[in-house]
Amino acid sequence: MGKRRQHGGAGANGSAGPLLDQALRAVLTAPEDGLDLALDTGASLLAASAGQWPAVSRALLGHADTAVGRCWSAGWRPADLTRVVRRELKPVHLALAVDLIAAEGRRHPAAALDRRWQEQLRELETEAWWPDDEAYLAAFAHRHRLDRFALATAALELLRTWGRLPPIAPVGPAPGQAPRVEHRARRPVPGEPRMLSRIRALLAKAESTEYPEEAEALTAKAQQLIAQHSIDEALLAVSADRDAPASLRIGVDNPYESPKAMLLDAVAAANRCRVVWAKEFGFCTIIGFDGDLDGVELLYTSLLVQATAAMNRSGARQHLDGASRTKAFRQSFLVAYAARIRERLTAATEQATSAAAAGRHLREDGTEEQLVPDERLLPALAARSEAVDQEVGRMFPKLVSQRVRVSDGEGWAAGRAAADRAALHGRAGEIRG
């Protein structure tokens, strides 16, 4: 981990902070037609002197505490900030963004961050790798083969992008905020880590196998375990302190972002969750109970991998006159895939719920055991669905629906066929949609 190295009374450092503030203020307030001039002027100001560069470096990392911290307070999370950069800027900005997140993260002990926040940081591989803050910009420039002016420009572009982000609905506590009482009181289902690990392993096999029949059975088994996991949590919550809905965000980007959002909504609905799509930011917010959210994230990721592979195997398409219709075919393919997955997952969840209400319980090893029917199950599941709807209304009081057009019949048929192959044709003893 890099450490801040303080040098009291350094004249260069005393001027670097105001220089950065001046340059950043001009860039943040510049209209689009004046942005290039503001960037050039600000970058020239920061990069003018090699002797001043270490102080600029320390000032930039110090400013990360403010810039990144403001985003956390406005509801953004590490994956969200990097997703915005990936969509709007270049790879060098993304590398810089990860470093600034790592620099700000030095303020917060890992144990004080919630589970999903820690997972995002691990996925981004955030690390304060530089020897000290005054050496950071020089080391970054060396890594990415940039001169001072180019790096200063990239830093200002990144900070402008983050500085203009609006507040969004939070999906969990920001660093420094205490978890909600309901989350602290939540009692985990016994064996939960093993269950999620088993689901993840089944879906990984489904994605990698070359045999459709095997992929179908593996995905079916994963959905069985997800449904049973949800049922176990619902029953546990009846006798424990009442659990409360949580939320997470999943990136949904072009190409074909609308049918991808439809697929996510299909998986979420089958697992008693709701989805709200923020198209302008490239993500969906999923609202549900914590264990259900884990299952939705795992299953959606796997089904999207399987859908993309099947779509690519279908190849390109042309009209009779030779013009390409591949885009229309693939759009229709994915819409149909999402619609058919919705049907099959919903049927599977209903069957699993009926079996559980009758006292049949699915063990983690895939075998069933007969228990005494629990009359609390169906009311508990209904109460959880109602709680999710109420949380959606609280987080998003103004929602609109969007229709997705289908213009290629062949793509529609191929998408439904791929969905049939992807999921829920179980073997004997497994769920069949």
pLDDT tens-place string over residues 241-265: 557 899 999 999 888 899 999 999 9
pLDDT tens-place string over residues 374-414: 788 888 888 899 999 999 999 998 876 666 554 445 554 55
Neighbours of 420 (CB within 10 A): 18
- Shared domain for 282 and 374, answered yes or no, is yes
Phi, psi of 3 (to 5 degrees): -125, 150
- Shared domain for 192 and 157, answered yes or no, is no
- Shared domain for 192 and 159, answered yes or no, is no
Longest distance between any two alpha carbons in the chain, whole Å? 78
Is 27 inside a domain boundary?
A: yes
- Shared domain for 47 and 156, answered yes or no, is yes
Residue 48: predicted pLDDT: 93
What is the pLDDT confidence band of residue 332, given thresholds at 50, 70 and 90?
confident
* Mean pLDDT taken over the chain: 82
Residue 5: predicted pLDDT: 42
- Shared domain for 134 and 198, answered yes or no, is no
Q: What HEC string does the chain produce?
A: CCECCCCCCCHHHHHHHHHHHHHHHHHHHCCHHHHHHHHHHHHHHHHCCCCCHHHHHHHHHHHHHHHHHHHHHCCCCHHHHHHHHHHHCCHHHHHHHHHHHHHHHCCCCHHHCCHHHHHHHHHHCCCCCCCEHHHHHHHHHHHHCCCHHHHHHHHHHHHHHHHCCCCCCCCCCCCCCCCCHHHHHCCCCCCHHHHHHHHHHHHHHHHHCCCHHHHHHHHHHHHHHHHHHHHHHHHHHHHCCCCCCEEEEEECCCCCHHHHHHHHHHHHHHCCCEEEEEHHHCEEEEEECHHHHHHHHHHHHHHHHHHHHHHHHCCCCECCCCCECHHHHHHHHHHHHHHHHHHHHHHHHHHHHHHHHCCEEECCCCCEEECCCCCCHHHHHHHHHHHHHHHHHHHCCCCCCCCCCCCCHHHHHHHHHHHHHHCCECCCCCCEC
Q: Tell whether the model's pLDDT for residue 329 goes beyond 90.
A: no
Number of domains in the chain: 2
The domain containing residue 411 runs over which residues? 188-422
What is the pLDDT confidence band of residue 293, given thresholds at 50, 70 and 90?
very high
- Shared domain for 203 and 318, answered yes or no, is yes
Residue 201: predicted pLDDT: 85
Residue after which a domain boundary falls, among 163, 179, 206: 163
- Shared domain for 151 and 114, answered yes or no, is yes
Residue 85: predicted pLDDT: 96
Residue 401: predicted pLDDT: 63
Residue 191: predicted pLDDT: 43
Residue 102: predicted pLDDT: 97
Of 181-185, 335-339, 341-345, the least confident: 181-185
Is 54 inside a domain boundary?
A: yes
What is the pLDDT confidence band of residue 300, given thresholds at 50, 70 and 90?
very high
Is 35 inside a domain boundary?
A: yes
For residues 40-53, average pLDDT? 95
Residues in the chain: 433
- Shared domain for 329 and 293, answered yes or no, is yes
- Shared domain for 147 and 288, answered yes or no, is no
Is 428 inside a domain boundary?
A: no
Question: 0.85 exceeded by the pTM?
Answer: no
Q: Cα 82–100–84 angle (5° rounding)?
A: 20
Which is more confident, 43 or 349?
43
Structure tokens at 111: 């144990």
- Shared domain for 157 and 208, answered yes or no, is no
Structure tokens at 415: 């998408």
Which residues face 425 on adjacent strands? Answer: 432
Which is more confident, 278 or 425?
278
Residue 321: predicted pLDDT: 56
- Shared domain for 235 and 305, answered yes or no, is yes
- Shared domain for 27 and 128, answered yes or no, is yes
For residues 315-331, average pLDDT? 68
| Rounded-to-integer distance, Cα 251 and Cα 260, Å | 10
